[in-house]
Structure 1
Amino acid sequence: MANLRSLTEEGGFLSAREPLPFVLLLTWKKLLGLNYAPAFLSLAGFFYSLFLHLFLLLLRRNLWGRNHYLALYLAAFLPFSYSFPTEYFPELVALDFILLVFLTFRLEKMGDLLVFPSFILFAFLSSLKMFLLAFTFFVLFSGIRGARKQAQKTSVFFKKRNVPFIFLLTYLFSLGITIFCFSYFDFFGKQSSRFLFQDWLSITKLVIAPMLLIGIAHILLKTEKELNTYTASVVAVFLVALSIFFIYRDLTRSAIEPWDAQTNAITKAFGQAAILKSDPIYLPKEFAYSLYFSTKTKTNYLQTRDENPKIFIYVKGIWTQDVALIQKTLFGKRNTRVSGLVPLGEDTALVQMTLSQRIKSISSLDFINKKISDAWESIPEGSSYGRYTKSLQAKFGYLSFF
């Protein structure tokens, strides 16, 4: 939603993401005249519903019964996967386009020659990471099926080459080279291949449950006539309601947004001139998004070559006792305002580089200096992926603020 607000009000992206899903989101918001949260949630829900319907359509092209739709509702409200549409919105959009690639891979009409590559391009422009994962499944499925069909064809005069199998091996070899290059050149940052596989694993954990449920329901509804009765429908409705209850309980029991109190502390610091608008601030990425969405304050979440001594760093592990120790060490008494130190809670603070230099010269504060140094070292650097998305965003006519 931070990107949606920045696109709407300033015409630029706050993060390194492929632009197509956010352009669709921005268009959706403008067409329906919705606020930020309703626009995002409604479009994410639409694409998630489309994903579930397309997946079942892959399994069953015939007429759907009443319980097929109830199976989709049950899959949509699984307590394990309900967060997927909002946490991985660009990946969800790319996944929908890949499912459309599955459905349009016939190449029987001239129009298919335009539709099929268009969906591939849209998936690629939606999420590079999801494109690599989902398109690989498409190639595996299509290549193995085509190779089997080709192997069944015999020729008396000469042995035909198994073109689908050759294409499959070529793609897998190219994919391996691509992942190796990502890792070698740190395309996604340090340990790119590890980051990529961890991201794929996180996505798979969220989508595998609804896909398995739909697949099992498809098989059972096809083989077991008792599951097509009204009694089965009542049970399915009950299970959907039970799932919604668990999701609601989970949402209401979840902790308050952790950034709210810290956002208030930063806003107060601006009001008291403890932080100036010109002072660069480095925050965790999620906090930077939350702060921008709440206050339109732009901060940094990637390291730059700026050596401005007025830089503020977000440091965890600075407890109230540590703040009191800094006050006593520098000024000889507690409850004294320290320039360059902005407490954000019990164990977090913004520390300015000028103050960090002073702390570094005092041996009794070495443990605090180490926390500040570790915080600075933990800030990720810009990557080739960021430069790639910047170029895409520029081609779509948008600025990049990261």
Structure 2
Amino acid sequence: MEMEDALYADANDKIRLGEELKKSLVEFEQIPGVSKVQRKIQQELKFLEKVIRTKTLKENHITSSNFVNYEFLIKTLRLQQGVVDINAVFPLESRDSPLRVDIVANNGLKWIKVIARNSKSIEDAAKGCVSFGARSVLDQASDYLEASELHFCMFQRPKVVFYFSNKIDSSLHDELKEMGVQTASLEEPDLDVDQYATISNELNLDVTTLLAYVSALTNGGCNFVFKEPLLTEQAEKERECPVKPILDKIFQGKRLVCCQLANDAFQNILSVLGGPSERALANELMKRVTVYPDVETIPPEFSNLRFTANVNERSLKIFSFGMARKIFTVTSNKAFVRSAKMQGINVPVFVHASRALTEGKQANAKAL
């Protein structure tokens, strides 16, 4: 009876942990893949609640729980910069099923696998002491490295880091290091490069970035309630998280360029919607930006990209300009990036929040 009581107590502890994990993930809900983790946690919670309610709880229901792994995933996630995906899928030629990368961080430049198993089982598996079909961390490391060679990000191979919740043997650490996999833990995280670091010294500016940088919203004019709900929402978000400091950090030490098409679109929008201060800011900004001719041919990376509601000729040419020069594009056009990704194309970008020109709307807005 005491053993049964202890078992149900452990199950209730697991449920409390699951509820805490759900709350912890709320702040990361905007990251692709997080919603799937939330659903898996909820499914496991429902199962535990059911076996407790129907008095059918068994020990393996607790020992097989994934909550410890999810807890370590979230703790590792908190240490990372520029997280762009969770449980990301990458096709691998040597496997029938795609590789799933636990965390894609540093704007795609770092792939992380989190391993919450005990040290003995990890080391035994590495020595071949596993059941048929089970994969050791060395096998997983080979998969990650193979996939990283096939899926360059921002014109370079992503760094592979394995995070361990428990200390591993130094020989296994050395073997992984020799393969090209970095090991880390919560106590000794990997040393990250600046999430805005790039190989090239140039940045391609999309028209959305040019507009955001000179918008009255990002230059002290966000304390308004506009007649247009979208502008009011952008003003609220700007008060919470100013965009210009983010852009300034991305621009730091970089040569700014754009294509003629982006410049023409920017100037046309300014002439119609821009206020006097926004136009003055635009003149100052364009002194820092070198304008080049548009690309004449679409680069191979985009050659099979289909036109959709989010992929039009203008956006394709602007992003193609950056791709052809092998440089990052700075943009708030998340729809294009998402649509391209759904078609299997990873666009090298820095994405920021959208900001419209609002100076001309201030006269009819309510000041806060």
Question: Would you call these one fold, judging by a TM-score over 0.5?
Answer: no
TM-score by length of 1: 0.25
Higher Rg of the two aligned structures: 1
By percentage of residues, which structure has more helix?
Answer: 1
TM-score by length of 2: 0.27
